[in-house]
Structure 1
Amino acid sequence: MYKILANTIFLGKDVHFLPDCHSTNDTAIQMVRLRQASEGSIVICQHQTKGKGQRGNNWISEPGKNLTFSLVLKPDFLDTSEQFLLNMCVSNGIRRILQEYIPFLKVKWPNDLVVPGFGKIGGILIENTFSGSLWDYSVVGVGLNINQVDFNHSKATSLSKVTGNNFDLEELFRLIVTHIEQSYVQLKKGKHQEIKIEYLTHLYLINELAKFEAEGREFMGEISGIDSYGRLEILTETGEKRIFDLKEVKFLE
């Protein structure tokens, strides 16, 4: 199951399949530290029991129904201030393939995948490690709801629930990794502006009036973009431009 990928350049040439694990990110980080994994290595788990999401949330997944995996990258061609470029790059790659099945799928800042009207279908958690001012490695955790249809969270959905179809997990895994690699090669070539434009084009609620919460107060505004550090830019109803980092603003839907 989940064999070495033949159609990629470097991603997925070293695949570690685990029937069960706490977190593929934790496992991949440990393997890198023990020099058991390097750039392109992938850890994929059939049943992840303590998956991690943004804001410290847990990612709960039904065994054998979804895709939970982590891949190792070494984006040392980027400056450490350009971390969000990697987020955008990976988000673009995954969104491209999933939009073939759900055309109206969006990326919700910073890197959740949502289907408007249905809920969250997946998320990406990138953990970067640095040696001083130098980029050491990145572990990219991906959790996607594919064939699971029952959730204990009303804001969650899946590819199967939205489309009504069942999917071959191995084939979808191969396609997703291929698209991530294509996007990563684009990043390596320095196509930063193209990556950002693509990310913003498919960003959830961009240029739409919506309700947010910051510092305990609700306000109306429109997402107008992101800055060079990946912080969210919101233009309020009063015309004020506000910039938020992760955990500083909440979407109220």
Structure 2
Amino acid sequence: MKIVKLNATTSTNSYLRSYTKELNPDTDVLVWTVEQRSGRGQRGAFWEAQPGKNLTFSVFKRIEALSLDRSFYITMATSLAVFEVLEQLGLQQLSVKWPNDILAGRSKICGILIESVIRKDLTAVIIGIGLNVNQVQFSRAPRATSIALETGRYFDLEEILDLLIQKFYTFVARIVSGDFEALKAEYEQKLFRRDKASTFEDPSGNRFTGIIKEVSKTGKLIVQLEDELYKAFDLKELKLLY
């Protein structure tokens, strides 16, 4: 893996997309920035990160022999990799908020944004990760937390980055070996609010009650509704209120 470190950029995902489009690299590339000025999350959300205190990086990962309809397994693998590293660092009450936010308790500690690179077929993915490490005050994200806030300790960013890279490739190897069912089961076991009655909101602002049961192989959330009907939702079709 080639690692590119920047002092500042708008978004590591945007930078990496331009970088790989120009160079068309044969190897994986990681772009890490000290300051990310316009970090993006799911649904176009802003990602708050004080310069030098958190990990904001993106990985260009070539995908071989993985069909487009199985691309969500990359999301599962990345989420599980971050989850296990945080467990290793001593964090508790961790969960995965579908599709790919990591929570400590009810507070967000990590956001993941995955974008597909399609050239005739699924060629690669760009995986953007924002992990709150040493930041202890959040002015624009009141539900955010960090490793430092959860553990009372400060950490070396490069050491955590190395742990994440190692763990990520462990899970990538499982995808390559076809360990899909076990990955899906592990991901579902860690889902926030799974098997609990929860309140959701649709794009029109209508609220309804349902129970998260599982995810489909393509990444849709399977929710049991009040009439016992099971329905699959994609990211734009509902918001979990908690």
**TM-score for the superposition, normalised by structure 2:** 0.95
Which residue matches 1:64? 52
Checking the alignment, whether the CA contact within 8 Å between 2:92 and 2:104 is kept in structure 1 is no
Task: Could you list the structure 1 runs, at least 4 aligned residues long, displaced by more than 6 angstroms after superposition.
Answer: none
Asked if 1:124 corresponds to 2:112, the answer is yes
Which residue matches 1:6? none
Report the alpha carbon displacement of residue 38 of structure 1 after superposing the two structures with TM: 4.1
How is 1:97-108 mapped onto 2 (pairs within 5 angstroms)? 97-100=85-88, 101-108=90-97
Identity of aligned residues (%): 33
Asked if 1:241 corresponds to 2:230, the answer is yes
Checking the alignment, whether the CA contact within 8 Å between 1:22 and 1:49 is kept in structure 2 is yes
Q: Which amino acid aligns with 1:105?
A: L
Checking the alignment, whether the CA contact within 8 Å between 2:48 and 2:138 is kept in structure 1 is no
How is 1:48-63 mapped onto 2 (pairs within 5 angstroms)? 48-63=36-51
**TM-score for the superposition, normalised by structure 1:** 0.91
Asked if 1:210 corresponds to 2:218, the answer is no
Unaligned runs of 5+ in 1: 1-12
Which residue matches 1:136? 123
Which range moved further: 91-100 or 139-148? 91-100
Checking the alignment, whether the CA contact within 8 Å between 1:106 and 1:115 is kept in structure 2 is yes
Q: How big is the alpha-carbon RMSD for the aligned residues of Structure 1 and Structure 2?
A: 1.2
The residue matched to 1:183 in structure 2 has which SS?
Answer: helix
Report the alpha carbon displacement of residue 71 of structure 1 after superposing the two structures with TM: 0.8
Checking the alignment, whether the CA contact within 8 Å between 2:36 and 2:56 is kept in structure 1 is yes
Q: Which amino acid aligns with 1:192?
A: F
Checking the alignment, whether the CA contact within 8 Å between 1:221 and 1:236 is kept in structure 2 is yes
Checking the alignment, whether the CA contact within 8 Å between 1:32 and 1:38 is kept in structure 2 is no
The residue matched to 2:200 in structure 1 has which SS?
Answer: strand
- Separation in 1 of the partners of 2:60 and 2:187? 22
Which range moved further: 47-56 or 231-240? 231-240
Distance 1:39 1:223, change over 3 A: farther
Checking the alignment, whether the CA contact within 8 Å between 1:147 and 1:160 is kept in structure 2 is yes
Distance 1:19 1:162, change over 3 A: same
Aligned residues: 239
Unaligned runs of 5+ in 2: none
Distance 1:126 1:38, change over 3 A: farther
Pick from 77, 91, 103 the counterpart of residue 79 of structure 2. 91
Q: Which string of whole-angstrom CA distances, capped at 9 and with x for unpartnered residues, describes residues 217-245 of structure 1?
A: 11111100011210001112331212110
- Separation in 2 of the partners of 1:186 and 1:158? 29
Report the alpha carbon displacement of residue 137 of structure 1 after superposing the two structures with TM: 1.5
